[in-house]
Amino acid sequence: MKNKGLGSLLLSMVICGSLLSACGGNSNTSSKNSGDTEAKAKVAEIVFALPSFNRIPDDLSKVTNAINAITTEKIGVKVDFRLFGPADYAQKVNLALQSGEKMDVFTTLGQFSNYVSKSQVAPLEELLPEHGKELTAILDKDFGPDILKTTTMDGHIYGIPVNKGMALPTNIIYNADMLAEAGVAADSIQSVEDLPAVFGAVKQKLPDVVPFGPINVNPTDTGLVNWMKGASKVDYLTDTTGVGVVIGDNGKVVNFYESDVFKNGIQMMRDWFEAGYLQKDTATTTITAMEMVSSGRGFSFLGGYSGMEVGKQLSAQVGKNIETKRIAPFYFDTSAVNSVTWMVSSTSKETEAAVKFLNLLYTDKELINTILFGIEGEDYLKVDEHHVKFPEGMDANTVPYTAMLSSGIVGSESLQYQLEGIDWSDVELKLKENKDTARSPYFGFIFDQGQVKTQISAVNNVVSQFLPALVSGSVDPETIIPKFISALKDAGAEAIIDSKQQQLDAWLAAQQQ
Amino acid sequence: MTARRKSPSKPLKKTLPLLILAGPGLLYFLINSYFPMFGVFIAFKDVNYAKGIFGSDWIGFKNFAFLFQTSDAWIMTRNTLLYNLAFIALGTIVSIIIAILMSELLNKLYSKLFMTGLILPNLISMIVLSLLVFAFLNADSGFVNHSILRPLGIPEINWYSEAKYWPYLLVLIQIWKTAGYGSIVYFASIAGIDKSIYESAKIDGAGKLKQIRMITLPLLKPTIIVLVLMSMGRIFNSDFGLFYQVPMNSGALYSTTQTIDTYVYRALMQLNDIGMSAAAGLYQSLVGFALVLTVNAIVKKVNPENALF
């Protein structure tokens, strides 16, 4: 009896012991990290998190070492380089910010003002004059001095917008071979009014092809709202609900969904839908127009792109002969510029080092292109001053490292290499359009949602209930838009509009001083 | 004297190994189910990360306001409650029927074959299921419109725009998915019933249906009560996959597919406010807790031996 009990006791202790020993490994790891930190006290360490739309390599050590060779020499900063996929990025960054884990430099991927309202980001206005001179200089040169207004709230600068061609005019993106087969000349497309005739010709000649599809799904987005914003100078005043916009320059905040601009746009899409240019299930489909075009079953879609060379990039991406035609100008409001913003965590202990790094990220050609393209000779080859290509026999999926698809969120486009075949004058055009594109008089205004969060949450539900069906033309605007407006009012839209009007008036008054 | 001295120490010696063996499990339970309860604070705070969770300002019930302040509050609460009641009632009935039918199968091969087939739907991801449903209901090429209604000349239905069909579709899909798995517990309970009771009843002239009604169902009552009571605890929650993915997030269906979980998801997608989402979770948990206590009290009054506690 005694021996039996003793055996059970020993066995259970062994099991517990083996369980606990598994936890021990973690503490060993953290001890090692502590040692590293002590040994390199003179070199500041920061974590830099980048979203990548390419394949994420298993081993980043070579690229990280190449980055650190530049940063430790020039600014005495050692970078812990983290690469996350687009679906993971926000989740991993937010988790680090919330748990207090080290996370120094990160980007928004949208929703700038929410980071500020939760005090997750550090003010930078005192650090930029000393550590960010070159950064502010290149922003002035490539965009203009008012770019930082889009990331300033209550007098504090909370982030640096990415420096690139910001103007994204609405294009019709189409399969050029199908257009030729339908007997239509590309020159006949000058505006959105010309599109129904093109769709009709394509549908008649190629009945199995869907003439027009959504650029995004779940929820469905046909690009119609962005077209309306550009064509009619609509400023959304930084939130995405559409409740509380200014159309033109009269300073009056209105419900976009009650406007004639919205009703006319929806009616146009309804006409297209009833003519059969969109699939019947566009409001709920899970297949984007890009996928339809890739498979040869789709003809076109609307999208906002900068420059004129995007057709070549899309052709390479989908394996078809793609061309683009601009059908509406772009209109700069605050969100157009601050939707991709680099920020420094409010809990960072190395804010100076982080700003020094951002200064390099925007101005150091070698650093920018190492982050985007990797190591010369291994990950890419130089073709000329501005162009690169992949090593022989490799492409974006087989090269050891590339983050080239993150070119829209890294540093300064004017310092980036371009893939072979892209006309460099297109970069110059983008920079010119940064200066020439019409700007809203309310450029720089940022809406603080704190006082109307309840209404915003209710309005979000109403918008996601009605808008996908409206922008896909799936429902009759005559009957549905009034219901939509009524539901918005019930959800508290008027309170949001009043709050915005109040804040906008105060902001305008402050601009006069 | 000797016997008395030995007996007090015996329980300790016998149970200590088991206690140590249970230690990791208890620790796991403590960490995963009790420590997170500190998160309740978040529901009452205006979370500011520079101050930390405990340092943030108290704001009373402000984080709860968005759940009650519009007419959506009624719709999402009604939908959540009614669907859950339908799932519990129909799920229980169908599970019991399946269990009884399965228990009548004397051939073990058939028994295993059918049980596997019945459980399989429960293993299918809700995402995959939403695409299976889409294959049936798509307006253009779905099986129902394309191969049933169109050949018969019956007007086709745009399923993803017609809210009135979805209460039936969602209940049907949920029962299909979960009843087989749910029947396992009842099947086990039936297997545990003393077979001699049935033999006695048969001798006394009871037919199969009478045996089921007079023996099987009464003896299943404790199991039914326990499982229903457990379900009450989650009556304010809904399966996100079933209510968001299966209807393809179609706005036209919100009047019948909007539940507390989908509402909170859509409402906070842009606000990213963890205080408001914590408030929703707390609200759901408190209602579930209150319901379990209430229903258990009722059961205790009516039939004391079947109460949970």
Using CB atoms, which residue from B52, B69, B249 is nearest to A458?
B69
Residue pair B53/B41 in contact (Cβ under 8 Å)? The answer is: yes
pLDDT at B64: 87
Contacts for A248 with CB less than 8 Å, ≥ 6 apart: A232, A233
pLDDT at A33: 40
Calpha distance A21→A182 (Å, rounded): 71
Using CB atoms, which residue from B16, B138, B269 is nearest to A281?
B138
Most B CBs within 10 Å: which of A453, A474, A480, A490, as the mutation test of the B interface?
Answer: A453
pLDDT at B37: 86
Structure tokens at A368: 């920018």
* Mean pLDDT score, A201-226: 91
Largest CA distance in chain B: 94
Q: What is the pLDDT of residues A317-338, one digit of tens each?
A: 788 999 999 999 999 999 888 8
Name B57's bridge partners.
Answer: B46
- Please give the full DSSP string across A456-486, using - where no structure is assigned: HHHHHHHHHHHHHHHHTT-S-HHHHHHHHHH
pLDDT-derived band at B6 (thresholds 50, 70, 90) equals low
Taking 60 as the threshold, does the pLDDT of residue B8 lie above it?
no
Q: Which of residues 116-155 of B touch A (CB under 8 A)?
A: 131, 134, 138-140
Which residues on A lie below 8 Å from B70 (Cβ)? Answer: 458, 490-492
pLDDT at A40: 46
Taking 80 as the threshold, does the pLDDT of residue A341 lie above it?
yes
pLDDT: which is higher, B1 or A226: A226
CA of A476 to nearest chain B CA: how many angstroms apart?
Answer: 12
Residue pair A308/A165 in contact (Cβ under 8 Å)? The answer is: no
Cα torsion B255, B257, B263, B266 to 10°: value is -100
- CB distance from B47 to chain A under 8 Å? yes
Q: Can you count the helices (H) and strands (E) in chain A?
A: 19, 17
Residue B54 CB coordination number (10 Å)? 9
pLDDT-derived band at B9 (thresholds 50, 70, 90) equals low
Residue pair A98/B274 in contact (Cβ under 8 Å)? The answer is: yes
Cβ–Cβ gap B263/A449 under 8 Å: no
Q: Which of residues 238-267 of B touch A (CB under 8 A)?
A: 248-252, 254, 258, 263, 266-267
Cβ–Cβ gap A9/B20 under 8 Å: yes
Taking 80 as the threshold, does the pLDDT of residue B187 lie above it?
yes
pLDDT-derived band at A201 (thresholds 50, 70, 90) equals very high
pLDDT at A38: 44
Cβ–Cβ gap B17/A12 under 8 Å: yes
Pair type for strands A44-51 and A298-304: unpaired
Mean pLDDT (chain B) is: 86
pLDDT at A10: 67
Percentages helix, strand, coil for chain B (3-state, rounded to 5) are: 75, 0, 20
* Mean pLDDT score, A16-37: 43
- Please give the full DSSP string across A82-113, using - where no structure is assigned: EEE-HHHHHHHHHHHHHHT----EEE-SS-HH
* Mean pLDDT score, A262-271: 95
Q: Which of A26-35, A278-287, A328-337, B147-156 is predicted least confidently?
A: A26-35
Which residues on B lie below 8 Å from A453 (Cβ)? Answer: 66, 271, 273, 276
| CA neighbor of A267 nearest in space, from A467, A475, A463 | A475
**ipTM computed for the complex:** 0.77
Residue of B nearest to A9 (CA): B17
| CA neighbor of B244 nearest in space, from B260, B230, B229, B232 | B260
Residue pair B95/B220 in contact (Cβ under 8 Å)? The answer is: no
Which secondary-structure segment (H or E) carries B210?
A: helix B208-211
pLDDT at A47: 93
Contacts for B128 with CB less than 8 Å, ≥ 6 apart: none
Residue of B nearest to A110 (CA): B270
Burial profile B234-252: b = 16 or more Cβ within 10 angstroms, e = fewer: bbbbbbeebbbbbbbbbbb
Residue of B nearest to A346 (CA): B50
- CB distance from B15 to chain A under 8 Å? no
pLDDT at A371: 93
Q: Give burial (CB, 10 Å; 0-12/13-18/19+) of B259.
A: buried
- Please give the full DSSP string across B235-255, using - where no structure is assigned: TT---HIIIIITTTT-GGGHH
pLDDT at A8: 61
Cβ–Cβ gap A453/B276 under 8 Å: yes
Taking 80 as the threshold, does the pLDDT of residue A513 lie above it?
no
pLDDT-derived band at B206 (thresholds 50, 70, 90) equals confident
Which residues on B lie below 8 Å from A469 (Cβ)? Answer: 161, 250-252
Taking 70 as the threshold, does the pLDDT of residue B4 lie above it?
no
Q: Give the three-state DSSP class for B259.
A: coil
Q: What is the pLDDT of residues A105-134, one digit of tens each?
A: 999 866 788 888 888 899 999 999 999 889
Cβ–Cβ gap A114/B48 under 8 Å: no
Calpha distance A287→A329 (Å, rounded): 27
Which residues on B lie below 8 Å from A13 (Cβ)? Answer: 20
For helices B108-123 and B166-191, the axis angle rounded to 10 degrees is 140
Q: What is the pLDDT of residues A466-502, one digit of tens each?
A: 999 999 998 999 999 999 999 999 999 999 999 999 9
SS (H, E, C) B53-109: CCCCEECCCHHHHHHCCCCHHHHHHHHHHHHHHHHHHHHHHHHHHHHHHHHCCCCHH
- CB distance from B72 to chain A under 8 Å? yes
CA distances from A419 to A164, A311, A463 (A): 16, 14, 40
Which residues on B lie below 8 Å from A491 (Cβ)? Answer: 70, 72
| CA neighbor of A71 nearest in space, from A121, A105, A94 | A105
pLDDT: which is higher, A456 or B6: A456
Taking 80 as the threshold, does the pLDDT of residue A419 lie above it?
yes
Residue pair B133/B170 in contact (Cβ under 8 Å)? The answer is: no
Q: Give the three-state DSSP class for A418.
A: strand
Taking 60 as the threshold, does the pLDDT of residue B182 lie above it?
yes
pLDDT at B88: 93
Contacts for A137 with CB less than 8 Å, ≥ 6 apart: A363
Taking 80 as the threshold, does the pLDDT of residue A34 lie above it?
no
Which residues on B lie below 8 Å from A14 (Cβ)? Answer: none
pLDDT-derived band at A370 (thresholds 50, 70, 90) equals very high
pLDDT: which is higher, B54 or A299: A299
Q: Which of A161-175, A306-320, B81-95, B119-133 is predicted least confidently?
A: A306-320
Long-range contacts of A271-276 (CB under 8 A, 24+ apart): A271/A196, A271/A473, A272/A195, A272/A196, A272/A199, A272/A212, A272/A473, A273/A472, A273/A473, A273/A474, A274/A473, A275/A196, A275/A199, A275/A200, A276/A203
Share of chain A above pLDDT 90, in %: 49
Long-range contacts of A90-95 (CB under 8 A, 24+ apart): A92/A49, A93/A49, A94/B272
